Amino acid sequence: MTSIRFNLPTLLNRLLICVTLLLNIRCCVVAKWYHRPNVVLILTDDLDSAIGGMTPLNKTKKLIGEAGITFTNAFVASPLCCPSRASILTGKYPHNHHVINNTLEGNCGSTAWQETQEPKTFPALLQAYAGYQTFYAGKYLNQYGNPDAGGVEHVPLGWDYWVGLERNSRYYNYTLSVNGKPKKHGGNYSEDYLTDVLTNMSLDFLQYKSNYRPFFMMVSPPAPHAPWTPAPQYQDRFKDLKAPRDPNFNVHGKVGAKHGNTHNTPTPHTH
């Protein structure tokens, strides 16, 4: 019979070295995450600073604008909603991501978009290659939730936590996709006003997220897009304020000279 003897002090020293190495590896991994910045991207809809859209947002200007950087000479790839959103997500011009308008036929949230572009959005790359935890809440692409493109059960690749608004801008009586499961909301302000719902869900994410990984959060409320439904406490705050009457006000131009959303709008504007 072969006898095996253990030197207890030597064994304990080796175990201590192994535990120390494991702790050092874990600490290095944690330190690696801490060196990567957390990112919060708030995407508003139809907020035009050129005609006074920032005028009522005093808190936003104070907490974000004055404390950071304002780009005064910035441009978008397209003035149209879905192509512009697709460019933000992919970093591509419309002729490269092929979203040309707000319709499914125009590749807005189509199955082709899902297959060719969603895997390459920057949040998907942050998640896959940089270890980020990702959160989305709000309006995505205008045709999101269309039954012909997977419905609200479709969760775009790259998001750990997904709260997507079905279709276009609404403030009441809408459906959210919560990680692929539909949740209907009604017309009760305290429970259903979309801007507040998205805010509360975002705060929940910040409270319960992992502290050992960096995060990317994208919050996309429809405000101030039509139908311009204010929260009750702000209902009368700007009742006497009108859009600037510059030379282009109520001038639609000939069909073909401007985008269809412009020349098809009823005249005159009254807001």
- Catalytic residue numbers read 81
Rounded Cα gap, residues 155 and 178, in angstroms: 9
Considering only CA atoms, which of 229, 231, 216 is closest in space to residue 137? 216
Phi, psi of 178 (to 5 degrees): -105, 100
Residue indicated by tokens 């697709």 = 86
Give the CA distances from residue 133 to residues 39, 117, 179, 244, in Å, rounded to whole numbers and listed in that order. Answer: 11, 20, 14, 42
Q: In the chain, what is the straight-line distance between the N-terminal and C-terminal CA atoms, in Å?
A: 97
Matching residue, tokens 């980020």:
132
In DSSP notation, 178-238 reads ETTEEEE--S-HHHH-HHHHHHHHHHHHHHHS-SSS-EEEEEE--TTSTT----GGGTTTT
The three-class DSSP label of residue 42 is strand
122: part of which helix (H) or strand (E)?
Answer: helix 122-130
Please state, in angstroms and rounded to a whole number, the distance separating the CA atoms of residues 193 and 95: 36
